[in-house]
Amino acid sequence: MSILVTGAAGQLGAELCRQLAGEATGVDIDALDLTDRAAVLEALRRLTPRAVIHCAAYTQVDQAETDVARCRAVNVTAVESLVEGCRRLDCPLVQLSTDYLFAGSRGIGRPWREDDPPIPAGVYAITKFESERAVTAWAKHIVVRTCGLYARPSHLAARNFVKTILRLARTQPKLRVVDDQRCTPSYVPHVARAVLFLAGVDRAAPAPWGIYHVTNRGATTWYAVASEIVRLAGYKTTVEAITTAEYPLPAPRPAYSVLDTTAYDRLGGPAMPDWKAALAEYFLELKRLPGP
């Protein structure tokens, strides 16, 4: 029995399938419409996976403010169907979640722990909170909250902050990036290793059921990350710090969404490097890729 990975064409789903190799059965929207309950239940019955890792999600946070029904269908209804199917198979369900659960707060003076009540704001964050409640209704669940994912540079179709900054810095003399949102952007290969550890792949059993925070280490801002990207790339582009108010967007962004990873660390899983070391690893692979 393989491990079913949803969202297999996305950043994390693709990396999980890569690390799992022949143990993974990856599905994406072209193979399975997760908003179709009957299709989901039939797929689980037919595949009988030993675990489901659910990476698929509606992540266009600004578009979600007006595309509410579709966002809820993908982020909530689909999860409810997966929970139902996993119950029938007595199958563990690993759900990927987000630091946006704390978008409605400016912070409480320390990184957020798993037992801190979420304070979602915006359609995307609210639906992800609802999806967590759906998952945790099934006993055999692991919820992994993470932040600011960016895939390997070899994942050419991936869209993320790092690729956006590199693209803009090639042609623009100055970038304006917000400096009042503190978080921990995380490199997908590191997060994927941690997810597979929590799921119990290649171990006798998964981690204790529950919620875990998994990010790279340290706290930073998008301005600081952009500055480090430009430095590592060797560009002369100037990066200017601005406030969130100077760059208004439809959906609320977390002002402080640094996640406390102590619960994961205590389990002895694969180490999560500092965010700067993670970016340096990204650039090492980027330099090994063939040029255009």
The answer, yes or no, to whether residue 248 has pLDDT greater than 60, is yes
The answer, yes or no, to whether residue 133 has pLDDT greater than 90, is yes
Q: Using an 8 Å Cβ cutoff, are 220 and 183 in contact?
A: yes
State the pLDDT at residue 19: 97
Alpha-carbon separation of residue 189 from 41, 142, 215, 217 (angstroms): 30, 19, 11, 14
Question: What is the domain-level CATH number for residue 82?
Answer: 3.40.50.720
- What does the pLDDT average to over 97-121? 97
**pLDDT tens per residue across span 182-193:** 999 999 999 999
State the pLDDT at residue 57: 97
Q: Tokens representing 35?
A: 């908003």
The answer, yes or no, to whether residue 291 has pLDDT greater than 90, is no
Task: Report the mean per-residue pLDDT for the chain.
Answer: 96
Active site residue 58: no
State the pLDDT at residue 292: 56
Residue 255's pLDDT band (cuts 50, 70, 90): very high
State the pLDDT at residue 158: 94
Segment among 51-65, 106-120, 198-212, 246-260 with least mean pLDDT: 198-212
Residues 256, 273: Cα–Cα separation, whole Å:
20
The answer, yes or no, to whether residue 63 has pLDDT greater than 70, is yes
Q: Is 17 domain-assigned?
A: yes
Residue 161's pLDDT band (cuts 50, 70, 90): very high
The answer, yes or no, to whether residue 77 has pLDDT greater than 70, is yes
Q: Is 280 domain-assigned?
A: no
Between 1 and 248, the higher pLDDT residue: 248
Q: Is 191 domain-assigned?
A: yes
- What does the pLDDT average to over 23-41? 96
Q: Is 166 domain-assigned?
A: no
Q: Is 139 domain-assigned?
A: yes
**pLDDT tens per residue across span 1-24:** 799 999 999 999 999 999 999 999
Residue 284's pLDDT band (cuts 50, 70, 90): very high
Residues 16, 47: Cα–Cα separation, whole Å:
18
Number of compact structural domains in the chain: 1
Segments forming the whole domain that contains residue 51: 3-152+186-216+259-272
Q: Tokens representing 208?
A: 């204790």
- What does the pLDDT average to over 102-115? 97
- What does the pLDDT average to over 68-75? 98
Return the ∠ at Cα 48 (arms to 44 and 53), rounded to 5°: 70
- What does the pLDDT average to over 272-278? 98
Q: Is 79 domain-assigned?
A: yes
- What does the pLDDT average to over 243-247? 97
Alpha-carbon separation of residue 57 from 10, 32, 74, 244 (angstroms): 9, 13, 6, 25
Catalytic residue among 58, 124, 223, 282: 124
The answer, yes or no, to whether residue 210 has pLDDT greater than 70, is yes
- What does the pLDDT average to over 201-230? 95
The answer, yes or no, to whether residue 160 has pLDDT greater than 70, is yes
Q: Is 292 domain-assigned?
A: no
- What does the pLDDT average to over 81-95? 98
Alpha-carbon separation of residue 227 from 168, 175, 244 (angstroms): 13, 9, 17
Residues 4, 158: Cα–Cα separation, whole Å:
21
Q: Is 286 domain-assigned?
A: no
Q: Of 69, 61, 53, whose CA–CA distance to 143 is shortest?
A: 53
